[in-house]
Chains A and B, each alone.
Chain A
Amino acid sequence: MSFGDWISAPINWVFLVVGILVLLSSVKVVTAKNVVHAALFLVAALGGTAFLFLMLSAEFVAWALVLIYIGAVLVLFLFGIMITRAPTGRDVGLDSPNKLWPAALSGATFLLLAWASVDAFGSTEIADVGEATSTEVLGLALLGRFVIPFEVVSFVLLAALIGGITIARRDLSPLEEEQRGAV
């Protein structure tokens, strides 16, 4: 498939626009000088990712991503930023001063992954994206073949819930314990 063929399909234009949006906001997530801005650019990157999922006919996963990440996880992040009083203004001390090696390493990672995928899947096409994967199929798979991983994941969530409460709660000193008991 030549580049002319590729660019003449309208869906690839959509992909280009969304992909560039995702990439630019990902760059801003890791370079923004303002912590809150970094979190909000992550919203843009994940929203673009959800749009890509819709293009790939994964409707349920796309909306789950929007609900869980943008609805819950980002709120958690904003609370984390607020509570730890991470410097919300411009701050030069947010990044490590040594940026050369990380940039080289991430560039090498990208080149390796891109080379591997071009080498392995050079001209594999996503033929038919018409029919969206129905939630019924996903639900039957989750409670059928994948029921044990599903239970394990729910146990992980329970453990995370209890662990989060246990770690984050403030232990009272013996004196405070006594006062509280008196009241």
Chain B
Amino acid sequence: MLLNQFLILAAAMFSLGVYGLLVRRNIVLILLSVELMLAAVNINLVAFEAVLRTPEAIGQVFTVFVITVAAAEVGIGLAIVLMIFRNRKSANVDELDLMRW
């Protein structure tokens, strides 16, 4: 196996996440795209770890951190979405112009 096959797959996944982030209007779908980008980052970390073979498996340790932070991000993000929906009756980002002047 080449290292590049994993890196290019992760790059494709990341750019699909960027596309979804910019195109989607619903906040929940935007968070889904962010998850896609984080998964791409995790593939990169694990692939580099498989090449470097550090004694403490640093790449995988950092993958664990990324997964944890992603879980926290989803929890907070969905709580905010819930609150916004309760106040504005909408989950579309282009209708949330409260802080725009």
Residues of A within 8 A of B (CB): 1, 6, 9, 11-12, 15, 19, 22-23, 26-27, 29-30, 35, 38-39, 42, 45-46, 49, 52-53, 55-58, 60-61, 64-65, 68-69, 72-73, 76-77, 79-81, 83-86, 93-96, 99, 101-103, 105-107, 109-110, 113-114, 117-118, 121-127, 129, 133, 137-138, 140-142, 144-146, 149, 153, 156-157, 159-161, 163-165, 167-168, 170
Contacts and interface: CB of A to CB of B under 8 A. Distances in A.
Quick one: which of A19, A39, A106, A124 has the most chain B CB within 10 A? A106
Interface of B: 1-9, 11-20, 22-29, 31-33, 35-36, 39, 42-43, 46-47, 49-51, 55-58, 60-61, 63-65, 67-76, 78-83, 85-86, 91-92, 94
Nearest to B70: A73
Nearest to A145: B56
B33 A29 contact: yes
B63 to A, nearest CB: 5
Task: Identify whether the interface residues of A are mostly helix, strand, loop, or mixed.
Answer: helix
Interface of B: prevailing SS = helix
Contacts of A156: 68-69, 72
Nearest to B65: A153
Contacts of B39: 45-46, 49, 65, 69
Given A49-B43, A52-B43, A65 B67 contact: yes
A113 B32 contact: no
Given A22-B9, A114-B11, A126 B65 contact: no
A153 B85 CA distance: 29
B17 to A, nearest CB: 7
Contacts of A27: 16
Given A96-B25, A102-B19, A129-B1, A163 B79 contact: yes
A46 B17 CA distance: 13
